[in-house]
């Protein structure tokens, strides 16, 4: 796969953008999701031996509503938080690198030379390492996004039964709740109808659970998409540096397109060396 020249000639800039998006999506996902499951934790935690206060994969009975193991919510929250903080660190690193390159260029300490390849082995290996790391993180984020989506659908389905039971629905009303009422409306009903548990810790008011959960779902998949792009981008850069991409070589240190030497100048240089 060959990328356009503008992506290959200025990788520092594109890495800054991509890692910045990862930081934004990861930290925001952790915040929005933690607001929901911490709000519902005391209400859903009805287990005696384990902590089952997670708002995903909820199960209901005629008299109770119980969440899933809290480890599910912890895994999704802290996976995105840690990766988001890592993206923030990488963004700062590449921002500093861009500033240093632009400063050297502005002071005239860099010059354009007819460079046709970058021989710095350290830079070549960094793309490979980043590609491998991006692959591992992409798999991790896909698992969190899939787990969240499946758990959200399961929770919505269980809440439908609870709403129908609370309304004593039957006939057309039951069909309406089962097939026409959206998950957003179902979750809105549960925000107001699900009883509080003052004997443990009160929820502390009403929140928009549907909005927060749907925002979290979109952000989890968006965060996964950013790291897929990073995986593809690092792989293409690694192939380019290894001479397998079929494109033009790039100069990382200068960040500009190498100067092309005309064929006439090449022939004159060869003739001069031969005469000498």
Within-domain flag for 256 = no
DSSP string, the chain: ----HHHHH-HHHHHHHHHHHHHHHHHHHHHHHHHHHHHHHHHH---SSS---EEEEEEE-SS-EEEE-HHHHHHHHHHHHHHHHHHHHHHHHHHHHHHHHHHHHHTT------------HHHHHHHHHHHHHHHHHHHHHHHHHHHHHHHHHHHHHHHHHHHHHHTT--THHHHIIIIIS-HHHHHHHHHHHSPP-TTS----S---HHHHHHHHHHHHHHHHHHHHHHHHHHHHHHHHHTT-S-S----TTT-SPPPPPPHHHHHHHHHHHHH-
For the ranges 105-119, 151-165, 231-245, which has the lowest average pLDDT?
105-119
Instruction: Give me the mean pLDDT over the 208-216 stretch.
Output: 93
Question: Which of 123-127, 152-156, 166-170, 235-239 is predicted with the least confidence, judged by mean pLDDT?
Answer: 123-127
**Assigned domain for 258 exists:** no
Mean pLDDT in the chain? 78
Identify which has the larger pLDDT, 47 or 228.
228
260 domain-assigned:
no
Domains in the chain, number: 1
Q: Is 31 within the bounds of a domain?
A: yes
272, part of any domain:
no
Q: Of residues 273 and 79, which shows the higher confidence score?
A: 79
Give pLDDT, residue 255.
43
The pLDDT of residue 247 is 44
Q: What is the pLDDT of residue 141?
A: 97
Q: Is residue 146 part of a domain?
A: yes
Q: Which residue has the higher pLDDT, 58 or 123?
A: 58
Q: Does residue 201 lie in a domain region?
A: yes
- Residue numbers of the domain that contains 155: 5-103+119-249
């Amino acid at each position: 796969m060959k990328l356009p020249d503008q992506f290959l000639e200025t990788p520092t800039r594109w890495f800054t953008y991509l890692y910045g998006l990862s930081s934004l999506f990861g930290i925001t996902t952790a915040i929005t999701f933690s607001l929901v499951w911490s709000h519902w934790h005391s209400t859903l935690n009805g287990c005696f031996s384990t902590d089952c206060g997670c708002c995903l994969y909820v199960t209901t009975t005629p008299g109770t509503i119980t969440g899933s193991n809290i480890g599910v919510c912890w895994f999704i929250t802290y996976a995105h938080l840690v990766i988001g903080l890592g993206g923030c660190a990488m963004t700062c690193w590449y921002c500093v690198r861009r500033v240093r390159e632009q400063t050297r260029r502005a002071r005239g300490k860099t010059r354009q030379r007819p460079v046709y390849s970058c021989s710095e082995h350290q830079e070549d290996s960094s793309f490979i390492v980043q590609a491998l790391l991006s692959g591992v993180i992409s798999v991790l984020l896909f698992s969190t996004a899939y787990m969240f989506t499946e758990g959200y659908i399961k929770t919505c389905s269980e809440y439908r039964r609870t709403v129908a039971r609370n309304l004593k629905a039957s006939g057309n009303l039951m069909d309406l709740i089962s097939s026409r009422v959206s998950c957003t409306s179902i979750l809105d009903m549960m925000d107001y109808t699900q009883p509080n548990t003052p004997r443990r810790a009160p929820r502390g008011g009403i929140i928009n659970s549907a909005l927060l959960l749907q925002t979290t779902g979109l952000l989890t998949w968006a965060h996964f998409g950013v790291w897929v792009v990073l995986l593809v981008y690092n792989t293409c850069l690694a192939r380019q540096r290894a001479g397998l991409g079929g494109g033009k070589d790039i100069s990382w240190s200068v960040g500009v397109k190498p100067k092309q030497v005309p064929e006439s100048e090449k022939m004159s240089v060869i003739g001069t060396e031969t005469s000498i």
